[in-house]
Chains A and B, each alone.
Chain A
């Protein structure tokens, strides 16, 4: 479903990686590993289409990316908080859904926030939340936005034990439902199975 071949990337004059290739089918996930500066984040940004690759081919359902279909099927969570500090978690969720052209009623948004342990925080401005809680607001999107491919860059950072376990469960559910995921992390992930790619 996701087929990557011959991907190459350089930063400035430095070559980060070359000839990276893998395929992901339904229910599969890929663990991208590598030392600091090996190019994990660069690979993620290439994969989702934020930066152009020096060489290589990325195909989603047989079609070259980036395409509207690919973006519709994709959730990418990067290093950034990607939430507005001045808005409440609820507003953040509903407005980002609206920007994506997806209707999201208050009930579904609230349910997602509660599942992520933000009960009682839904009407506070995000700026007063802790770093881990901000991260949870972002992760709530995984529940509210239907997407087949999750690309999560260091998603387990800044999360406490409970949240790590919860995210692991979310990913497992997603995979069980036929989804796909590409994850980066230094530490072992609480998700069973998975292919490994070492940069």
Chain B
């Protein structure tokens, strides 16, 4: 467990030395969501209707943007090799890296979402549901994305390939995440959506680090 926390600390320290990489994903999220009203028109009812979908798709793409770098730097400089040979289980270190990725890339999106939701005329309770759904959904995106990042590590055209592999797997998160906000706006109960998101998160937290570890070992061979 200490090794996991040490990995988180290390990756956050590294990110703080290279702030631009973290900020890119956040700016991307802000810009993409702001482009939609410009493209569609400022009609409040329409914007309110499409807001959950747009915010979720933008969060998906922003997460995707940072994924290729998740293991690439460690792979190039050889620290990943050292992790694979460390007495600490590689799965634990990988879980730490995924957690750090979420803290650096997912959590800022969760915190920014309510502010951006205001652009779409969402009311306070809808913003609350949006934040809650993203809070459950963004770790799921990091977990699933890590598998894709490990599979495409060091592969030609890795970035585009990563999108092709990962985006179809993001669909359930998108459906229930955006669905929760839509259901709330329509006055329906959102408990089902959120508990399904939570269930998927638990499932992914269990399997994704394991699959990622297996893929990393293959990539290191």
Direct touching of A and B (C-beta under 8 Å): yes
| A50/B6 in contact, CB under 8 A | no
A97-105, A109-117, A182-190 - the one binding chain B: A97-105
Measured CB to CB, the closest approach of chain B to A78, in angstroms, equals: 6
For residue B195, CB closer than 8 A to chain A, the reply is no
Are A87 and B14 interface neighbours, CB within 8 A? yes
A169-195: which residues lie under 8 A (CB-CB) from chain B?
none
- Nearest CB of B to A66, in Å: 8
Q: Are B13 and A74 in contact (CB under 8 A)?
A: no
Q: Chain A 70-102, CB within 8 Å of chain B: the 1/0 string?
A: 011010101111111111000100011011110
Bound CA–CA A101/B175 (angstroms) = 40
Q: Is B87 an interface residue when CB atoms closer than 8 A count as contact?
A: yes
How many Å lie between the Cα of A195 and that of B18 in the bound state? 46
Docked-complex contact B87 and A68, CB < 8 angstroms: yes
In the complex, what's the smallest C-beta–C-beta distance from A130 to chain B, in angstroms?
Answer: 16
Q: Are the CB atoms of A82 and B93 closer together than 8 Å? A: no
The B contact surface, by secondary structure, is: helix
Q: Give A8-39 interface residues, CB cut-off 8 Å to B.
A: none
In the complex the two chains form, is B87's CB within 8 Å of A101's CB?
yes
**Min CB–CB distance B142 → chain A (angstroms):** 20
Chain A residues with CB under 8 A of B221: 50-52
Report the stretch among B74-82, B104-112, B121-129, B205-213 that lies at the interface.
Answer: B74-82
A84 contacts B84, CB within 8 Å? no
Would you give the 0/1 interface string for B9-24, flagging 1 where the beta carbon is closer than 8 Å to chain A? Answer: 1100110011000000
- Chain B residues, CB < 8 A from A99: 3, 6-7, 10, 82-83, 86, 88, 93
- B-chain residues with CB within 8 Å of residue A91 when the two chains form the complex: 13
Count of interface residues, chain A, beta-carbon cutoff 8 Å: 28
Q: Are B2 and A81 in contact (CB under 8 A)?
A: no
Q: Are A87 and B17 in contact (CB under 8 A)?
A: yes
Which of A52, A74, A84 meets B79, CB within 8 Å?
Answer: A84
Interface status of A6 (Cβ within 8 A of chain B): no
Chain B, range 80-119, C-beta contacts under 8 Å to A:
81-89, 93
- Does B220 lie at the interface of the complex (its beta carbon under 8 Å from any beta carbon of A)? yes
- What chain A residues lie within 8 Å of B220 (beta carbons)? 50-51
- Tell me whether B88 and A100 are in contact (CB under 8 A): yes
Given contacts A50-B220, A51-B221, A100-B87, is CB(A82)–CB(B2) below 8 Å?
Answer: no
A79 to B6, CA, bound (A): 25
- Would A98 and B81 be within 8 Å (CB), given that A52-B221, A68-B87 are in contact? no
Which residues on the B side are within 8 Å of A48 (C-beta)? 85
- The reply to whether A100 and B3 form a contact with Cβ atoms under 8 Å apart is yes
A49 within 8 A of B: yes
Given A84-B14, A84-B79, A85-B77, residue A71 in contact with residue B6 (CB < 8 A): no
Q: Is the Cβ of B85 less than 8 Å from the Cβ of A80?
A: no
Chain B residues close to A by CB (< 8 Å): 2-3, 6-7, 9-10, 13-14, 17-18, 77-79, 81-89, 93, 220-221
Taking A87-B17, A98-B9 as known contacts, 19 extra A-B pairs with beta carbons closer than 8 A to each other, sorted by chain A number, are A50-B221, A71-B85, A71-B87, A76-B85, A78-B78, A80-B77, A81-B77, A82-B77, A82-B78, A82-B79, A85-B77, A86-B18, A95-B9, A95-B13, A96-B82, A99-B7, A99-B10, A100-B88, A101-B88
